[in-house]
Amino acid sequence: MVNEMAEPLIFHFDVDGDNFTSAGQASVQVKKNLRQLGIDPETIRRVSIAMYEGEINMVIHAKGGEADVIVSDESIEIILKDTGPGIANIEQAMQEGFSTAPDNIRSLGFGAGMGLPNMKRYTDYMHIDSVVGEGTTITMRVNF
């Protein structure tokens, strides 16, 4: 970090699940906020790609949700929480190429089964907490 922070900074977003066109707006805003904080571009890119994939997932599968980004001295943490259908088999969902996205999503450039693997690839820590029928919370961390 450029500046020592006494308190972690928290950015909160409601992710609108009704409209695929607007998916990704929160991630774009986070990217802007992190730039203003003077965080190095590689860290910003990793955070924003991971969050963007997660945000797209929330819109495709869970009709939106909530996103929190917590910037502390040690890391940037992204928490994505939805009340969607949940993930039945997390191990399977983590495999590249596995997707349950509907066909129309593929014609929009997503749904190739790369979202969760990409999120893991770009972060130092990722945990999926999911209950079928209740929802999913994904916690990711990128360390400085």
Distance set, CA 60 to CA 1, 38, 49, 74, 89 (Å) = 34, 32, 16, 32, 17
- 89 residue type, one letter: N
Binding residue for other proteins (CB under 8 A) from 121, 128, 135, 137? 121
Q: Are strands 135-143 and 125-131 parallel, antiparallel or unpaired?
A: antiparallel
Q: Which residue's CB is nearer to other proteins, number 98 or number 131?
A: 98
- Residue 90-109 contact track with other proteins, rule CB under 8 A, x = bound: ------------------xx
Distance of alpha carbon 130 from alpha carbon 60, whole angstroms: 16
- Minimum separation from the CB atom of position 91 to other proteins (A): 19
- Three-state DSSP class for 110? coil
Binding residue for other proteins (CB under 8 A) from 18, 21, 134, 143? 21
Which one, of 55, 8, 58, 64, lies nearest residue 28 by Cα? Answer: 55
Which of the stretches 23-31, 65-73, 77-85, 136-144 binds other proteins when contact is defined by CB under 8 A? 23-31
- Minimum separation from the CB atom of position 100 to other proteins (A): 14
Q: Which residues bind to other proteins, rule: CB under 8 A?
A: 20-24, 27-28, 31, 41, 45, 48-49, 52-53, 56, 108-115, 117-118, 121
